[in-house]
A = this chain, B = another copy of it.
Amino acid sequence: MQEIERNRVAIALIHHPVLGRKGETIGSAVTNLDLHDIARIARTYGIARYFVVTPYDDQQKLVTEILAHWQSGHGSTYNPARKEAFSVVEMAKSLDEAIAAMTNMFKRKPALVTTSANTQKSSVDYVQARHRINGGEPTLLVFGTAHGLAAEVTSRADYTLPAISGRTGYNHLSVRSAAAIICDRLLGEAIN
């Protein structure tokens, strides 16, 4: 099987604006494990960049410290495989900053693709999305923390991926699990 280096896909993990328990717009705190697990997923599937998006100064400081530890600090020598995963992680202050960085990287504005635990309008199925990505379209996969992306993000999407179904009707995966499954569906080896 042919191995790839990097593809034209990036991930943005949004901490604001996202939804709270009652559907209100909130900002969430960055969690260390979202950084680690999704960095490892990103590196596994040849994702070009994983943007951790937060508008809050203190959270940006936290992200910067964690990145420094794993990209060039003690963590990078203690665990080289984790350093490699963190090499694709970047802090961004807003979704627009992530889009600008990606546009600069590929000289073209990326397709903004949102994901949701609920089926949305303008859905593109996984086979079609995979085809678009394989065709070279720069693609920014946008994930929401807490109870998902707020409407001011989803309304900007070029297309939306269908909710992940395990055929039980239960749709409460962690964002880490959703990112793993979606990357495998879009970028993994074809298995059937």
Contacts and interface: CB of A to CB of B under 8 A. Distances in A.
Copies of this chain, whole number:
2
Contact of A181 (B170, B172, B180): B180
A44 interface: yes
A44 B171 contact: yes
Contacts of A37: 174, 176-177
A49 interface: no
B191 A127 contact: yes
A84 B173 CA distance: 12
A168 B5 contact: yes
A118 to B, nearest CB: 14
Interface of A: 1-5, 33, 36-37, 40-41, 43-46, 81-82, 84-85, 125-127, 130, 164-174, 176-177, 180-181, 183-185, 187-192
